[in-house]
Amino acid sequence: MRIFRFLIFLLMSLALLLSACGNQQENHEDMATPAETSEVVYELGAWMDITLTESRTSASFKLSDYSGKVVILEMMDPGCPVCKDQLAEIKSALEIVGDKAMAVSVDVGYKGAEAQIYWADKYGATWILAQMTKEFGQSLRSDFGGKIIYPGDTPVIIIDPSGIAHVTDPGIKESATLIELVNQWTQ
């Protein structure tokens, strides 16, 4: 009797699984159909001229406004432990290089300005904070690929005084490395 119940259970489970897979196949076919896209194609470096909003002051700015300066551009997510470590390294580097460089942290986690400000204040980030916009993110991905906005890779871009962007390797960039990169572009 147990074997009979087990076989009935097994057949019903198999029928349910096949039924679910059949529906899933239809969904996959729908996904394979080309959909209209409204994604804009950006010119190389367009993200530098996209308006961002400073989280503390609500002032508008563009990264191109800082032409002639070295900018440490960090993609971060409030609450991300790896981002906290990167933030500490940026803070240490800025304390050494002084006004030779500035930093901008962009919240790619979409947690909102209040969360970003709280996070920055808690860990001593006194530099510019901004929220990711769709256009800014799409333009960055267009230039550098999707990982550029993945906070776990602690993406940092060094923008030299001539406006050329230099993407650093994934992983925490220690303050010594950041100082070296800033000095490379300020001598």
Is pLDDT of 60 > 60?
yes
For the chain, give the mean pLDDT. Answer: 82
Structural domain contains residue 110: yes
pLDDT, tens digit, for every residue of 167-183?
Answer: 998 999 999 999 999 99
SS3 101: strand
- Give the chain's domain count: 1
Structural domain contains residue 42: no
Structural domain contains residue 19: no
Q: What is the mean pLDDT of residues 114-142?
A: 94
pLDDT of residue 136: 94
Q: Which of 149, 102, 109, 159 is nearest to 126 (CA)?
A: 102
Query: Regarding predicted confidence, which is higher, 24 or 103?
Result: 103
pLDDT of residue 28: 29
Q: What is the mean pLDDT of residues 13-41?
A: 38
Structural domain contains residue 26: no
Structural domain contains residue 131: yes
Q: Which of 53, 90, 118, 97 is nearest to 186 (CA)?
A: 97
pLDDT of residue 187: 74
Structural domain contains residue 16: no
pLDDT of residue 36: 39
Domain of residue 154: give its range.
Answer: 47-186
Structural domain contains residue 9: no
- List C-alpha distances in Å: 115 to 77, 82, 155: 9, 16, 20
pLDDT of residue 117: 95
Structural domain contains residue 13: no
pTM of the model as a whole: 0.76
Query: Regarding predicted confidence, which is higher, 169 or 20?
Result: 169
Domain CATH code at residue 85:
3.40.30.10
